[in-house]
Structures are given as structure tokens and as C-alpha cells.
Amino acid sequence: MKEQELLDQGYRKYRGKEVDVYFNLNKCQHSAKCTTGNPQVFNLERKPWVLPDADNKEKVIQTIHTCPSGALKYIEKSKE
């Protein structure tokens, strides 16, 4: 999915060096898969609550794939 499509659907962008993370509160089912699976990146006690660079890209992506609602999405940045 393209960035503009995600933004148009209500996702908020959290910028990282290698991967951008997108979150849509309206889709979130609060299963806490993100906050328990990778609290370094996803932490509700801080602002911003998503820090894509707090862990390696692969672990961030792996955590996003555990989200059952689709509230979390990502776009990898190309290495140019």
C-alpha cells in the first residue's frame, strides 16, 4: 500500500531511518501485541509512542505482522 493511501485512510506516520510505521487508532482492537511484543518501539507511556528506530527493522516489521486488526502498517525505505 502506498503512503498517501494509508494517510487518506486515517493512519498516522511515525518516521524511521529504515522503515516508517503507520498507525490507525480507529482500527486498533487493543490486543497489545505491539506493546508486549516490542516495548522498545511501541510504548504507550511516552510520546511519540512509536519509535521505529528503537529496534532493528526486521524486529519492527515482525511485530507489526502480529497486529490482528491491521491498525499497524509499515513501508520500508529503499537503500539508494
**CATH code of the domain containing 63:** 3.30.70.20
Coil, strand, or helix at residue 13? strand
Quick: pLDDT tens for 11-66: 999 999 999 999 999 999 999 999 999 999 999 999 999 999 999 999 999 999 99
Residue 69 confidence (pLDDT):
97
Domain tally, the chain: 1
Instruction: For residue 9, give the C-alpha cell.
Output: 485512510
Query: Which pTM value belongs to this model?
Result: 0.94
Please state the length of the chain. Answer: 80
- Domain encompassing residue 71: 3-76
Question: Which residues have a Cβ under 8 Å from the Cβ of 8 and sit 6 or more positions away?
Answer: none
Q: Is the CB of residue 29 less than 8 Å from the CB of residue 68?
A: yes
DSSP element (H, E) containing 8: helix 3-8
Beta strands in the chain (DSSP E): 12-14, 19-23, 72-76
